[in-house]
Amino acid sequence: MAGAGKEPRQAAATRRRGAALEEAILRAAAEVLKESGVPGLTMDEVARRAGTNKNALYRRWPNRVALGVAAYRRLAAAETVLPDTGSLRGDTLEMLRRANSTWSSPYGEILRGLIAAAGGTPELLARLRDPAADGTHEAAWLTLLGRAVARGEAAPEALHPRVAYAPMALLRNEYVTLGVPAVPEAVLTEIVDEVFLPLVRGRSPHGSGPHRSASGLHGPLPP
């Protein structure tokens, strides 16, 4: 009778398929990453927490690093909350500040650990570093730029994925090339004021766009 209570749970775990099982695995992997970091992420531990076997993991991810990348992206997507400061400049700076804070937090330590572990696997590095590989974050940046278009701060021609994600791509480049735990506030401001906002203005129908103050886009485009 002592073992009878376990049978329903075991049967339930066995019956899980597809998205439900994958969600359980990713949730378990994310928990391990948060608790033990990349060194503690093992297929055995994730399978145990997910209530499944290692074969179920290996059918979806070839190794623990690939699983870790997928779990990290799940964590990062859950942390994406859009600011709404009322201006494109304010929203962009806030998004960069949050990313900067994350990089120097335990989440950043996880990301750096995964980058190191995936050093010999270009496709995994691409999923960690390439903005286009993360649809959730790209959608968030497009939403911010879309709001600016709706407010009249930017022309519709500026609403392009590469334009929207330019600030984050530049910030990531600072991390990768300099290997710093955090980027100075002055650099964040420079990314916004010297690169991103001029890029947005340059996407207007007339090429150079209307004149704006040095502090960024603050008023609606003229008719």
Q: Are 28 and 46 contacting, i.e. CB atoms less than 8 angstroms apart?
A: yes
3-state SS track over 24-59: HHHHHHHHHHHHHCCCCCCHHHHHHHHCCCHHHHHC
Three-state SS for 161?
helix
Q: Which residues of the chain have pLDDT under 50?
A: 1-13, 131-132, 208-223
Alpha-helix residue ranges (DSSP H) falling in 79-121: 88-103, 106-117
Q: Is 216 left (phi over 0), alpha (psi -120 to 50) or beta?
A: left
- Kindly list the distances between the CA atom of residue 196 and the CA atoms of 86, 131, 160, 203, in Å, as whole numbers in the listed order: 17, 16, 13, 11
pLDDT number for residue 20: 92
Q: Which residue has the tokens 């290996």?
A: 58
pLDDT number for residue 166: 95
pLDDT number for residue 135: 64
